[in-house]
Amino acid sequence: MFITFEGGEGTGKSTQALILAETLKKHNINVVLTREPGGSPGAEIIRNLLVTGSVDRWSTMSEVLLMYAARADHWQNTIKPALDQGDWVLCDRFADSTVAYQGYGRGVDLEFLQVLYQHVIGNTEPNFTFIFDLDVQEGLKRATARMEGDIVVEGRFEAMDIEFHQRIKDGFLKIAKEHPTRCVTLQADDHPRVIHRQILKFLQEKGALDWNSLPA
């Protein structure tokens, strides 16, 4: 099972990926919890290039290719081997983030992004994608508060203007609409426990989880 968590800044998707991983482990499911950009030693090095430094550090095309360089390494070394051995992979961001951020956010041709996907990943898609939707101002406020006190500030994207973040939010909603079988949109301002139960319920209804009652 390959599940991705997507959304704008400060939407709580990383927390939900972590809580779901813990619940699944309690039910003896082998889980690999990972993230993008990053998730393998090589991709983590590329992540550092992408998320630190000034907003205009990379051209849009360099940014796309770095995202896909990281994704290729992550796919080859972390995701694919885990899926091949039957583990569940929970991935905090994946290719929908490139469509939302670099496609809808920065105007990169969506067909070009699709071609990159085909060459790097092939025909595999996430089984399910949870898209976390939140007011842009609120999300940025949460993300900025989280970074306070960090030694390495991963704030390159958070520092981009509000219109960019609004295009990303709208982009994710568009992706959800275009892929109704794979994607489900969650209201990220609900309580984390409520969101976790919604996720479990969705996975049960889809037949991905076969235990009879939801865990407490």
Binding site for ligand TMP (CB under 6 A): 9, 35-37, 51, 67, 93, 97-98, 101-102, 157
Both tokens assigned to 45: 């090095």
In whole angstroms, the minimum distance from the beta carbon of 5 to ligand TMP comes to: 9
Q: Is 189 helix (H, G, I), strand (E, B) or coil?
A: coil
Contact yes or no for 165/139 (Cβ under 8 A): yes
In whole angstroms, the minimum distance from the beta carbon of 133 to ligand TMP comes to: 15
- Cβ proximity to ligand TMP, 30 vs 52, nearer residue: 52
Amino acid at 23: T
- Cβ proximity to ligand TMP, 30 vs 60, nearer residue: 60
In whole angstroms, the minimum distance from the beta carbon of 157 to ligand TMP comes to: 3
- Cβ proximity to ligand TMP, 16 vs 209, nearer residue: 16
Measuring CA to CA, how many Å separate 63 from each of 4, 60, 89, 92, 118? 21, 5, 25, 19, 18
- Please tell me the number of Cα atoms within 13 Å of 40 on its side-chain side: 16
Q: Is 124 helix (H, G, I), strand (E, B) or coil?
A: coil
Contacts of 67 by beta carbon, 8 Å cutoff, 6+ apart:
36, 37, 50, 97, 98, 102
- Cβ proximity to ligand TMP, 188 vs 209, nearer residue: 188
In whole angstroms, the minimum distance from the beta carbon of 185 to ligand TMP comes to: 17
Residue nearest ligand TMP (C-beta atom) = 157
- Cβ proximity to ligand TMP, 49 vs 83, nearer residue: 49
In whole angstroms, the minimum distance from the beta carbon of 92 to ligand TMP comes to: 6
